[in-house]
Structure 1
Amino acid sequence: MWMWVVHRATGVAIFFFLLVHVIDTALVRVSPEAYNEVIGTYKTPVFGLVEAGLVGAILIHGLNGLRIIAVDRSTWAVRHQRQLVWVVWGVTAVVMVPFLWRHLGHVFGGA
């Protein structure tokens, strides 16, 4: 039940990111100066944290989508749904830790 909520929430978050991305990229055709100003605001620590959250949302959404495909196609996966949910969270954590180490180092340390 909770993975259903997580999957929907991450899907909505990714959709809104894509919407903002298309709009701010289209801004370059209207006013290159305004585009540069918007892109400049994305280089703040707050947006660095939002970016990290976006990567986490994409990762959890994609891995959970693979879990859903497995459950739809395999009786084994249906029987082991709870374990597969933990696998999704575990793989997400294993991938996110090195990403966050490097990404947040750039965001806050300037490396």
Structure 2
Amino acid sequence: MKKQRPVNLDLNTIKFPPAAISSILHRITGVAMFFAMLFVIWAWAVSVASPEGFEQVQSIMDGIIGKVIAIGTLSALIYHTLGGIRHVVMDMGHWEELESGNLSAKVIIALWVILTIVLGVVLW
């Protein structure tokens, strides 16, 4: 018996639909928020330990690295929230068809990009 196996396993040639990209981004932003929380907990612990610690955290957050971390963390939170709302709506029986699912994924990704740009302008 001959088993049929995929001939092309080059991942660069595989095109994911928007719904798949949206689902993968939802998982990635969840992991990113977990690691971002490690920084947030560290910054909180250092800032409440002493006035010098507070100044240290404040100087980090005023610098470019702190702004990138803040924008990245809030961007992940924005996407994860938007993706979570999309999944809740899908759990209620809407946007389950291929066309509406892909459209909702495109809207969520576009909204995320726009909100991240606005957030970056405001925080920078």
TM range (shorter): 0.7 to 0.9
| Alignment equivalent of 1:84, drawn from 104, 112, 115 | 104
Percent identical among aligned pairs is: 21
| Alignment equivalent of 1:52, drawn from 56, 60, 71 | 71
Tell me the distance in 2 between the aligned counterparts of 1:29 and 1:96.
29
| Structure with the larger RCO, 1 or 2 (CA within 8 Å, 6+ apart) | 2
Letter of the aligned partner of 1:69 in structure 2? V
Unaligned runs of 5+ in 1: 105-111
Tell me the distance in 2 between the aligned counterparts of 1:95 and 1:29.
31
| Alignment equivalent of 1:15, drawn from 3, 13, 34 | 34
Tell me the distance in 1 between the aligned counterparts of 2:117 and 2:47.
34
Tell me the distance in 2 between the aligned counterparts of 1:28 and 1:47.
14
Greater than 4 Å deviation, 4+ residue runs: none
Q: Deviations over 1:34-82 (max 9, x none)?
A: 34213312211122123222221111110000111111111x3101211
| Alignment equivalent of 1:4, drawn from 8, 11, 23 | 23
Tell me the distance in 2 between the aligned counterparts of 1:94 and 1:73.
27
Q: CA RMSD in A?
A: 1.9
Deviates more, 1:9-18 or 1:79-88: 9-18
Aligned length, in residue pairs: 103
Identify the structure with the greater helix proportion: 1
Q: Secondary structure at the match of 2:62?
A: coil
Tell me the distance in 2 between the aligned counterparts of 1:28 and 1:48.
17
Normalised by the length of structure 1, the TM-score is 0.77
Tell me the equivalent position of 2:17.
none
Unaligned runs of 5+ in 2: 1-19
